[in-house]
Structure 1
Amino acid sequence: MSVRRNVTAWAPAALVAVSLLTTSCAGQDDAASAPRTTPSASAPHGYVEGAQEKAEQQSRLVLNDPRSGDTRVLDLITGKVQEVSRTAGTAELTTDGRFGYFHTSGGMHVLDGGAWMVDHGDHVHYYRASIRDVGRLPGGPGTRIRSDAAVTAVTGEDGRARIYRRAGLEKGKVGSPRTLPGTHAGAVVPYEEHLLGVTEAGKVLMYDREGKRAASANARCEEVRGDAVTRRGVVLGCADGALLVREVDGTFTAEKIPYGSDVPEAERATAFRHRPGSDTLTAPAGKRAVWVLDVTERAWTRVKTGPVVSANTAGEGSPLIVLQSDGALHGYDISTGKQLSKTKPLVTGASAAGTDGSADPVIEVDRSRAYLNDPKGRRVYEIDYNDNLRVARTFDLDIEPALMVETGR
């Protein structure tokens, strides 16, 4: 793999990046070669056996070519690529910030991406460790996986939810699950030491981590589709808008965020994307617009964009980033809907329009950069979204990265 950089307005940032790379970051397998020590009473706060704690976020991209099964992990700190075990026939690739889940017809292959963060509210710990296979979870295409620091909830297409202990996955073992009663219309979401689910009839339920029913907000979410965990609470996509479920002093409350007008079914927000930690969500609004939900302000904005392939935003004053069917990235001011910037066409071939049956490219966003996969071009672009969508780096690959997720966040 080679890395190509766009050096325009890059030099000051490059000096900082080089300093970080040479002083605080090691290679891909640094954690594997590090001595394994035994925890003791003198172990520092945040100590994790077998992992290295770092001062900066340790982002990595997990990349998969469903046709060949070739899989790579791209370390965005070092720029190095590691080849990992093949997973062919992947219909969907998802992540919970650390693990990559390869959804296939024969179950879900779980890969520990070896990079993650632990958010303690007033401070954050960043870790890197060896990449390794964990095993397989039951389920496949259509299975939804949601996690927090303690548990991983796996909701099958049949609506049954199985809860796995996170500690087992972190040790490289799947373990035995606990099954929640009943069936659920959407994903079961771990939140504030509880599990949030919605029945087929639209009733919102809360469970404790043992699977017992707990007191919940008296709320409904009809035709639930899509969910996101934010610092303000859990957002659920409903037929009439969104439902925000929050925990305040041990009590769960629910608040509707309506669209404000009648929205055709084909234009509802049903799948949210956002920067982890942000309270600004994006979702397609039909084929030629994007919904932006400001959870803090409890407000929807519909941005007219033209043909949409993928969209995302970092929130907090950052532009809405949209990959359109011309293969270019377009940046929009969320409040006015005005287009602010546009790149040259970056995504090659029919995949930009999603017309060849392959997975659409995606836009992953973190605190400083966005990442766009170009399957036909066998590359990934790093985008500086605060500098008119400037292409900061281009990573050339030896596979077609049709599926991509970012870990370490």
Structure 2
Amino acid sequence: MRSRITLFALTGALTVALAACGTTPAEPPSSGTTDDGHGDIAGAEEVAEPQLGLTSIDPHGTVSHLDLLDERVTDIGEIPAPTDMTTDGRYLFAETSDGVEIVDSGVWTWDHVDHFHYYRAEPALLGAVDGKGDATIATTNLSTTGGTGISFAGSGDAVLLDTHALSKREISELFRIEREPHDGLVVPVGSFALVTEATDGIGTSVRGYTADGEETGLDESCVAPAGTITTRVGAVVGCADGALLAHVDGDELQVERIPYPEGTTAPAVTDFDNREGRPTVAGLAGSEGIWVLDTRARSWTLLPSPAPLVHVTAVDDEDGHLLALAQDGRVLVLDDESGAVLAETPPLAAESLAAGMTPTLIADQHRAYLSAPAEHRLYEIDYADAARVARTFDTATEPAFVAETGR
């Protein structure tokens, strides 16, 4: 999953340069599930290359999609005004005052271990999941199988959606569990889920559940759970003292604890990010530095911050790049072993940050995308080429939320 990300609306004139595409290293998906149809869904067209795009929702709820291959903009429809949003690379889960609205971008990639399948279908508004209070959404890297978790802080409801049903344009709840209200998580792991439990409104542990809502007996301490992301190795859950790493072994849900290094006083990560699926993830250690978690090696690294930062993400490529957004609006390309600055952009989103807006930084294998809401722009950055700005997209309206889809 990607944890919550703030997204950017695209509906205006475009100025264009050059783009590239390619393949990614192959490892088995972490969910423990397979799909004999290779991600194929009735009515979808299999195509030769990933259908990368930017699917966006503006502050009023207007949904549109920019195709990054031919730069056409498609209007998808309208939803109630969103306050936050999460994506898995296909679906957009938009938090509203009444619950979570779900948008299907209509483009996705199926990771079949040693090769990939790419699909395109008509985008659609799928409807809403009702709930009270802030919603935290957790996804996997597979958009046609498994589950999607929603935790509602106001009511405490823990919901697991059937992702396969979503791929057929249906909203189906595999379970809805009543809990004490708290800022919690529902994290899908293959055919299971981890659900946080609370005492006096504070999360204290995670319990394992089957997809039909039966407890597995797994119960692990996790004080102040915050932040989750799915890598090829497993699902990460952030805790005050480190992270839990969950995966399925055979037909059994297993959890490992990855504690922070002994003696550390740096704050815990509350928001993980990476290039989708890769084993290495990153998050801010408050204002004190950058935590890098290698889920394959089960190890943490604390790096110094080269400047005051807003966000950080791990590209996890051969060159070990991290990308960071500085508080002055620059995008920094960092070394993931030393934290050294390898390249940087000019301050592209300075006006947005000065206005209290939150730009979004997204990384894929070849490019990064930065939203600049107050500037009415989205930037495509070639981080491997000295942080060169490869394309600039201007928008006619104030940008609000954007996700890179089709990956």
* Superposition TM-score, scaled by structure 2 size: 0.83
Structure 2 counterpart of 1:151, from 147, 150, 158? 147
Give, in angstroms, the shift of residue 140 of structure 1: 6.0
Q: Give the paired residue count.
A: 371
Root-mean-square deviation (CA, aligned residues, Å) is: 2.6
RCO higher in structure (CA 8 A, sep ≥6)? 2
Q: Partners of 1:3 and 1:302 in 2: how far apart?
A: 39
Quick one: which of 122, 126, 130 aligns to 1:130? 122
Q: 1:150, CA displacement in angstroms?
A: 3.2
Instruction: Name the one with the larger helix percent.
Output: 1
Matches within 5 A, 1:48-197: 48-66=41-59, 68-87=60-79, 89-139=81-131, 142-148=134-140, 149-157=145-153, 158-175=155-172, 178-180=175-177, 182=179, 186-197=184-195
For 1:3, the equivalent position in structure 2 comes to 14
* 1:135 Cα offset (Å): 1.1
Structure 2 unaligned regions, length at least 5 = 1-11, 23-35
1:257-292 C-alpha deviation (Å, 9 max, x unpaired)? 222145557x21011111111111111211353222
Q: Which structure has the larger Rg over C-alpha atoms?
A: 1
2:156/2:178 contact within 8 Å kept: no
Supply the AA of the counterpart residue of 1:331: V
Q: Give, in angstroms, the shift of residue 54 of structure 1.
A: 1.8
Does the CA contact (< 8 Å) of 1:280 and 1:313 recur in 2? Answer: yes
Q: Alignment partner of 1:286: what SS? A: coil
Which residue of 1 is the match for residue 393 of structure 2? 395
Task: Give, in whole Å, the separation in 1 of the partners of 2:399 and 2:234.
Answer: 33
SS at match of 1:145: strand
Task: For residues 139-191 of structure 1, give each alpha carbon's deviation from its aligned partner in whole angstroms, at most 9, with x where no partner exists.
Answer: 36621223451333222113321233234333333245532364576211111
Q: What amino acid maps onto 1:344 in structure 2?
A: P
The 3 A distance-change label for structure 1 pair 299 and 62 is: same
Q: CA deviation at 1:193?
A: 1.2
1:347-401 superposed Cα distances (whole Å, 9 cap, x missing partner)? 141x225xx343x111111122111111112121111121121111111222222
Structure 2 residue aligned with 1:347, among 333, 346, 349?
Answer: 349
Q: Which residue of 2 aligns with 1:27?
A: none
1:209 matched residue in structure 2: 211
1:272-283, aligned counterparts within 5 Å? 272-283=272-283
Instruction: Give the % identical residues.
Output: 35
* Residues 187, 195 of structure 2: 8 Å contact kept: yes
The correspondence of residues 38-49 of structure 1 with structure 2, limited to 5 A, is: 47-49=40-42
Measure, in 2, the Cα distance between the counterparts of 1:70 and 1:227: 28
Question: Is this contact kept in 2: 1:287–1:306, CA < 8 A?
Answer: no
Tell me the CA shift for residue 118 of structure 1: 2.4
Partner of 1:366: 364
1:249 aligns with 2:250: yes
Q: Please name the residue that 2:261 is paired with.
A: 260
Q: Distance in 2 between matches of 1:159 and 1:363?
A: 30
Distance of 1:211 and 1:44 partners within structure 2: 27
* Cα 1:77/1:199, change in 2 over 3 Å: same
Structure 1 residue 248 displacement after superposition: 2.5
Question: Structure 1 residue 250: deviation in Å?
Answer: 3.3
Deviation at 1:339, TM superposition (A): 0.9
| Residue 285 of structure 2 is aligned to residue 285 of structure 1 | yes
Output the amino acid matched with 1:226.
G
C-alpha distance in 2 between matches for 1:94 and 1:45: 24
- Which structure: greater strand fraction? 2
Closer, same or farther in 2 for the Cα pair 1:44/1:209, shift >3 Å?
Answer: closer
* TM-score where L is the length of structure 1: 0.82
Q: State the SS of the aligned residue for 1:169.
A: helix
Q: Deviations over 1:34-71 (max 9, x none)?
A: xxxxxxxxx986542211112222222222332x4443
Mean alpha-carbon deviation: is it higher for 110-119 or for 247-256? Answer: 247-256
Looking at structure 1, the residues matched to 298 and 72 of structure 2 have their Cα atoms a distance apart, in angstroms, of 41
CA–CA distance in structure 2, aligned partners of residues 342 and 228 of structure 1: 26
